Amino acid sequence: MPVDSQPQAFPDIAPIRYEGPTTKNMLAFRHYDADALVEGRSMRDHLRFAVSYWHTFRGTGSDPFGAPTMLRPWEQAGDPLAAAIARTNVAFEFMEKLGVGFYCFHDRDVAPEGVTLAESNKNLDAVAAVLKRHQDRSGIQLLWGTANLFSHPRYVHGAATTCNAEVFAFAAAQVKKALEVTQHLGGAGYVFWGGREGYQCLWNTDMKREIDHLARFMQMAVDYAKEIGFMGQFYFEPKPREPTKHQYDFDCAACINFLRTYGLEKHVKMNIETNHATLAGHEMQHELEYAGMQGFLGSIDANTGDTLVGWDTDQFPTSIYLTTQIMYTILKYGGLAPGGVNFDAKVRRESFEPVDLFYAHIGGMDAFARGLKIAAAMRADGAMQRLLEDRYASWSSPLGKKIDSGAETFRSLEAAMLAKGEAQGCGSGRQELFENLLNTYL
Ligand code: XUL
Ligand code: CO
């Protein structure tokens, strides 16, 4: 049961409201106006913001060099299940005050791992019952659920790609339960992120066997979802490395190739995270474009990295340039629903006061709202699209149209170019003009 007598965790913070760009109040939105319409749809429905339970309610501020720093006065010592249940009150107070519609969790974020699988399942059921009541009362929904298949020592060699069949079986049991709980909570999706699905050393790794097992595992999840009538969208989240040297879900290209190779492409879309794209040597826009053009754009994990630190630093996104790129591409491919914008981001170790959680999310939400407005203005104006189309104008010529329709061959094209002697009409790429044009909307 939620502890009704529990004092508020954020007593000094009132619900965050839209006050417009000129407000001096740093605990207000300047751009995120949930009901405002952009391209005929509310900002709330475009962005479908979600809070990550793991970072926001379980983040401690510890890093490889130092101890936890976060001040979280609501955290209770003693029985971990009682603490987990009390923590749900904090989570929903935070999310209701922030005004987000969704949250995401791993099974072990919300409920403690027990000594046996049965005990872990029981803990999860107990917390899920409380989460359900909070959801029903507040209207906040589960964007996606997932299972933590990477923290426990049993997953030292991976979960679906482990060398040990019993560990594979345990992971399967854990995902079965996580799917049931996600379904019970009306989750709109389920994410696979392969925490330790990869390798540290190729000499001790049978890569083909491991990747076959990853596909078998996902297929079992798809089959079980069908069996229990779970209609949520499955997502695969790319990340190239960390904690492993190489992860099999490296980037969108690798993930989509994997899904097609194993016949999973109808069941799974991509959940794309900005800092993971960076680690893969791509821009977020590249990953979104690559997934979008092939119909695999599902949901996003919104964060950003640091240009000088080579880790997955999971910072809150504040760059308007970045959010404009993201929202322009998302609008181009028709939006995210049933996916959304999940802040897979954590406050800095040095930002240890509870109020920093609000500043961080407000900043991220405003940055995305601004990116959305700018992207919509660019699309309404059309100048960027026209410049792009100009660059490819030769494909509207009789020759271009015939190539695209399949009417030309190597022989016919050779004949055409032998007759002409040289290709004509190559214009400037105008990169600087495109970039300058973008800046006129920011
Ligand atoms: C880790 C990460 C995960 C996934 C869900 O880098 O992004 O939290 O989003 O397992
Ligand atoms: Co993520």
**Residue 427 pLDDT > 70:** yes
What is the reported pLDDT for 56?
A: 98
What does the alpha-carbon distance between residue 249 and residue 256 come to, in Å, rounded to a whole number? 9
Q: Would 22 be classed as within a structural domain?
A: no
Strand partners, 102: 50, 141
Task: Give SS3 for 72.
Answer: coil
Contact criterion met (CB below 8 Å) for 338 and 233: yes
At 1, the pLDDT band (50, 70, 90 cuts) reads very low
Strand partners, 438: none
> Do residue 289 and residue 428 come from a single domain?
no
**Residue 21 pLDDT > 50:** yes
Cα of 95 from ligand 2 centre, angstroms: 19
Q: Would 31 be classed as within a structural domain?
A: no
> Do residue 322 and residue 354 come from a single domain?
yes
Residues carrying an active site annotation: 106, 109
Cα of 276 from ligand 2 centre, angstroms: 8
DSSP state at residue 304: B
Residues 119-141 pLDDT 10s: 999 999 999 999 999 999 999 99
Cα of 168 from ligand 2 centre, angstroms: 22
Cα of 203 from ligand 1 centre, angstroms: 27
Q: Would 402 be classed as within a structural domain?
A: yes
What percentage of residues in the chain have a pLDDT greater than 90? 97
Q: Which of 94, 82, 97, 1 is nearest to 53 (CA)?
A: 94
Q: Which amino acid is at 7?
A: P
What does the alpha-carbon distance between residue 320 and residue 338 come to, in Å, rounded to a whole number? 24
Residues 357-403 pLDDT 10s: 999 999 999 999 999 999 999 999 999 999 999 999 999 999 999 99
> Do residue 358 and residue 307 come from a single domain?
yes
For residue 273, what are the contacts with CB-CB under 8 A and spacing of at least 6? 237, 238, 239, 300, 301, 302, 303, 344
What's the structural domain count of the chain?
2
User: Which ligand places an atom closest to the C-alpha of 194?
Assistant: 1
Cα of 58 from ligand 1 centre, angstroms: 14
Q: Would 75 be classed as within a structural domain?
A: yes
Contact criterion met (CB below 8 Å) for 233 and 269: yes
Cα of 326 from ligand 2 centre, angstroms: 16
Here the tokens at position 365 are 């939400």
The ligand 1 site (C-beta within 6 Å) comprises 106, 146, 191, 193, 237, 239, 273, 301, 312, 344
Ligand 1 closest atom vs CA 242: 6
pTM for this model (two decimals)? 0.97
User: Which ligand places an atom closest to the C-alpha of 106?
Assistant: 1
Domain residue limits at 371? 37-381
Which residues have a beta carbon within 5 Å of ligand 2, which is an ion?
273, 301, 344
Contact criterion met (CB below 8 Å) for 163 and 155: no
Contact criterion met (CB below 8 Å) for 256 and 291: yes
> Do residue 357 and residue 416 come from a single domain?
no
Which residue's CA is minimally distant from atom 5 of ligand 1?
193
Ligand 1 closest atom vs CA 150: 10
> Do residue 422 and residue 337 come from a single domain?
no
Contact criterion met (CB below 8 Å) for 226 and 263: no
Which of 237, 239, 244 should be mutated for ligand 1, with most atoms under 8 A from CB? 237
Which of 146, 152, 174, 304 should be mutated for ligand 1, with most atoms under 8 A from CB? 146
**Residue 2 pLDDT > 50:** no
User: Which ligand places an atom closest to the C-alpha of 54?
Assistant: 1
> Do residue 371 and residue 403 come from a single domain?
no
Check which CATH number belongs to the domain holding 283 and give it.
3.20.20.150
> Do residue 231 and residue 295 come from a single domain?
yes
For 106-126, what is the mean pLDDT?
98
For 210-223, what is the mean pLDDT?
98
> Do residue 279 and residue 410 come from a single domain?
no
For residue 101, what are the contacts with CB-CB under 8 A and spacing of at least 6? 44, 48, 49, 50, 139, 140, 141, 340
Ligand 1 closest atom vs CA 106: 10
Ligand 1 closest atom vs CA 52: 8
Q: Would 16 be classed as within a structural domain?
A: no
For residue 5, what are the contacts with CB-CB under 8 A and spacing of at least 6? none
Which residue's CA is minimally distant from atom 4 of ligand 1?
193
Strand partners, 18: 29
Last residue of a domain, one of 381, 403, 431: 381
> Do residue 41 and residue 186 come from a single domain?
yes
Q: Would 64 be classed as within a structural domain?
A: yes
Contact criterion met (CB below 8 Å) for 114 and 123: yes
> Do residue 291 and residue 149 come from a single domain?
yes
What is the reported pLDDT for 4?
A: 55
Cα of 234 from ligand 2 centre, angstroms: 14
Q: Would 257 be classed as within a structural domain?
A: yes
> Do residue 66 and residue 102 come from a single domain?
yes
Residues 41-97 pLDDT 10s: 999 999 999 999 999 999 999 999 999 999 999 999 999 999 999 999 999 999 999
Which of 108, 151, 239 should be mutated for ligand 1, with most atoms under 8 A from CB? 239
Last residue of a domain, one of 335, 354, 381: 381
Which of 103, 109, 193 should be mutated for ligand 1, with most atoms under 8 A from CB? 193
What is the reported pLDDT for 6?
A: 84
Last residue of a domain, one of 331, 350, 381: 381
What does the alpha-carbon distance between residue 255 and residue 249 come to, in Å, rounded to a whole number? 5
User: Which ligand places an atom closest to the C-alpha of 195?
Assistant: 1
> Do residue 210 and residue 327 come from a single domain?
yes
Q: Would 111 be classed as within a structural domain?
A: yes
For 155-184, what is the mean pLDDT?
98
**Residue 242 pLDDT > 70:** yes
